[in-house]
Amino acid sequence: MIASLTRGRLFLRLMMGFAMVFLYAPIISIIVYSFNESQLVTVWSRFSTKWYAALLQDEQILHAAKISLEVAVLSASGSLVVGTLSGYILSRFKRFRGRMLFSGMVMAPLVMPEIIMGISLLLLFVGMEQVFGWPQRDIQTIVIAHITFSTAFVAVVVQSRLAGIDVSLEEAAMDLGARPGEVFFLITLPLMVPALLSGWLLAFSLSLDDLVITAFVSGPGSTTLPMVVFSKVRLGLNPEINALATVIILAVGLVSGLGALKTAFKVFTPEKAGLQIKEEKCASPA
């Protein structure tokens, strides 16, 4: 009995070890080879930082990085507003007409294949431009698209935070005569600050990383960093991209990793990611 239990634990540990190697080997190999002097990416010659120097000289990459950062700041801020409202509505307004439709629309982008969102938004923008003369395809269309898909992530973070805020605080303020707007801005919003911060960071890193949707909705003058990276890596390995990748891994990893560590694993648990599973259903047969 004890022997078989240990065998079971041993199997689990082996699988865990395998999963860890599987998850981290690619990232570590990129970081290691970014310091490789050789042009042949996977043949080690000697330590060098020349690819980082080359990166700083690359106008195309620097320009694209600037656009990407601009888009990421704007769309993270936009998704913060739309996502906070959506999360608040979903967790505080339990009954209204169209609630099912609303929650479906907010949460569907979490799983919707990007290629569908990309083509459908582009066709909408083209149609709107024909009818209203707006919007031109540039940074603004990318920002609108990014807000639309990353709002779901902010809403999920906000919703999970609101679930932990006692409604009686809001009710007490109401009883003391505060208007709904005052309750929201003076009570609810300050209590949500940590969730707002991690929601913003999450939206920021999603925007910085998006390729497929951006490729559809961007215009000729608004090429983002992932688009440049993609066009280069389609041609094969590139030591300069390894250096860029290391910078991105460290930057995105540090900023969003540290900022959202606390809520990171809450975001993708099913009940938070829109797949709510009743506790008792999962925990006991009753």
Partner 1 sequence: MIGQVRFLGAPKPGEGRRWVIAGPFIWFLIFFLVPFVVVAKISLSTAAVSIPPYVPLISWDDTATMSIALHFGNYHFLLTDPEYVIAYLSSLRNAAVTSLVTLVIGYPVAYLIATAKPSMRGPLLMLVIMPFWTSFLIRVYAWIGILKPNGLINNFLIWLGAISHPLDILNNQFSVYVGMVYAYLPFMVLPLYSCLEKMDHSLLEAASDLGAKPLRAFVSITLPLSIPGIIAGSLLVFIPAVGEYIIPTLLGGADTLTIGTVLWNEFFANRDWPVASTVAVALIILLVGPLMLLQHFQSKEDQ
Site for partner 1 in 49-78 (CB under 8 A): none
Q: How many residues bind partner 1 (CB under 8 A)?
A: 110
Q: Using CB under 8 A, which of 72, 156, 241, 243 touches partner 1?
A: 241
Query: Could you give the angle at the alpha carbon of 191 between the alpha carbons of 189 and 197, nearest 5°?
Result: 75
Among 237, 71, 205, which residue's Cα sits nearest to residue 139?
71
Rounded least distance, CB 54 to partner 1, Å: 17
112 binds partner 1 (CB under 8 A): yes
Residue 197 interacting with partner 1 (CB under 8 A): no
Is the peptide bond prior to 135 cis by the omega test (within 30 degrees of 0)?
Answer: yes
Give yes or no for residue 186 binding partner 1 (CB under 8 A): no
Helix (H) or strand (E) holding 66: helix 59-92
For residue 164, give the nearest of 83, 271, 259 by alpha carbon. 271
**Which is nearer to partner 1, 221 or 253 (by Cβ)?**
253
Amino acid of residue 60: Q
- List the one residue from 51, 61, 74, 86 that touches partner 1 (CB under 8 A): 86
**Distance between CA atoms of 52 and 239, rounded to whole angstroms?**
9
**Which one, 145 or 187, has the nearer CB to partner 1?**
145
- Binding status of residue 23 toward partner 1 by CB under 8 A: yes
Given 54, 69, 73, 119, the residue binding partner 1 (CB under 8 A): 119
Number of helices and strands in the chain (H, E): 14, 0
* Shortest Cβ 244–partner 1 spacing (Å): 8
CB nearer partner 1, residue 41 or residue 139: 41
24 binds partner 1 (CB under 8 A): yes
Say how far apart CA 157 and CA 30 lie, in whole Å.
31
Residue 278 touching partner 1 (CB under 8 A): yes
Residue labelled with tokens 């409202």: 85
Q: How far is CA 232 from CA 29, 92, 172, 220, in A?
A: 19, 47, 58, 17
Place of tokens 């923008």: 125
> Per-residue string for binding with partner 1, 136-175, x by CB under 8 A?
--------xx-xx--x------------------------
Decide if residue 19 touches partner 1 (CB under 8 A).
Answer: yes
CB of 18 to partner 1, least distance (A): 7
21 binds partner 1 (CB under 8 A): no
